[in-house]
Structure 1
Amino acid sequence: MIRFPEGLLGFAGYKNFALIEEEEESVFKWLQSIDEVELAFVVIPPSLFKKEYLPALTVEELSQIDLKEVSEALILVIVTIPGDDPASMTANLQGPILINKVTLTGRQFISRNEVHSVREKILESATVEMS
């Protein structure tokens, strides 16, 4: 179980989540609320489509989940997949979720890096990264 003491942005009342891997081959995972079965988010490590992604966070922010550096965390971003056009799925690079891998405490932050988009097109970014 991953504990989010502050909840996620817009979902402050939900503090306990599980990270579920539905299929071994899939890069996507589910961040499933333990408190509310109907609440789950599709997440992905941003490094899979943005190799150099690093959220801009302060030392004080990182200390909120007992981290000294961003590299110590499991970093995930929430994915939005439109039902009518899955190929245009986007990821929220502006609101990364960091999880302390030792304490299993997490927090969603706001990245101070202005180039990080709330709706980063995953397939377009992955294509650019590969070329």
Structure 2
Amino acid sequence: MRSISTVRFGNIKIDETKIIKFSHGIPSFEDEHEFVIIPYSEESPFLFLQSVSTARLAFLMVSPFMFFNDYEFVVNDDVMNELQIKKREDILIFSLLTIPNKDIKETTANLLAPIIINQSNYEGLQLILENTNYTTKHLLVEKKNVEDDE
């Protein structure tokens, strides 16, 4: 076990074997190479990707398939080789979320750059998709159209 400091959770103990290694970091955070996944709560689908070395750096994320049934892309051979993925069942896919101005109804998911993790060896990367209509800001929950009875 290893103790790390976090802003959200305070000092916590983590299993060193569960540290996810991002050999290239994450875009805009290239110096951050080790993260751990912390559940938001037991019942919640939301998770935090918490930096092991920087207490204030944590990304909120979720499995995109829970909110976007038709989300699909190909994990190419280069990624499969880099993460040493032997079978598809080892792949975990997450989307980073953004909550603008603390308004949860405006939460967006980054479908353009999913987080890919090999759960058999805890190697990960953020894959930037090419030739796609996905963006960095897909509303997590679609707004309902309300018609006036006028």
TM-score range, shorter chain: 0.7 to 0.9
User: Any idea what the Cα deviations from partners look like across 1:92-121, whole Å, max 9, x if unmatched?
Assistant: 000000000100110001112512121011
Note the residue ranges of structure 1 that are not aligned, 5 or more in a row.
Answer: none
Identical aligned residues as a percent: 31
Asked if the contact 1:89–1:122 (Cα under 8 Å) also holds between the matched residues in 2, the reply is yes
| 2:55 maps to 1:16 | no
1:114-129 matches, within 5 Å, as 114-124=132-142
Moved over 6 A (4+): none
From the superposition, tell whether residues 54 and 35 of structure 1 become closer, same or farther in structure 2 (CA, over 3 Å).
Answer: same
**Does residue 50 of structure 1 match 2:68?**
yes
1:37 paired with 2:55, answer: yes
TM-score (norm 2): 0.77
1:123–1:64 Cα change, 3 Å: same
Which stretch of the first structure deviates more once superposed, 64-73 or 19-28? 64-73
For residues 1-131 of structure 1, the aligned pairs below 5 Å read 1-67=19-85, 72-124=90-142
The count of residues paired between Structure 1 and Structure 2 equals: 126
Deviates more, 1:48-57 or 1:9-18: 48-57
The alignment's C-alpha RMSD in Å is 1.9
Provide the rounded CA distance (Å) in 2 between the counterparts of 1:8 and 1:70: 22
**Relative contact order, higher structure (CA 8 A, sep 6+):** 1
Residue segments in structure 2 that go unaligned for 5+ positions in a row? 1-18, 145-150
Check conservation: 2:59, 2:96, Cα contact below 8 A. Answer: yes
- Read off the aligned partner of 2:61 and give its amino acid letter: V
State the distance in 2 between where 1:56 and 1:111 align: 9
| Contact 2:90/2:120 (<8 A) preserved | no
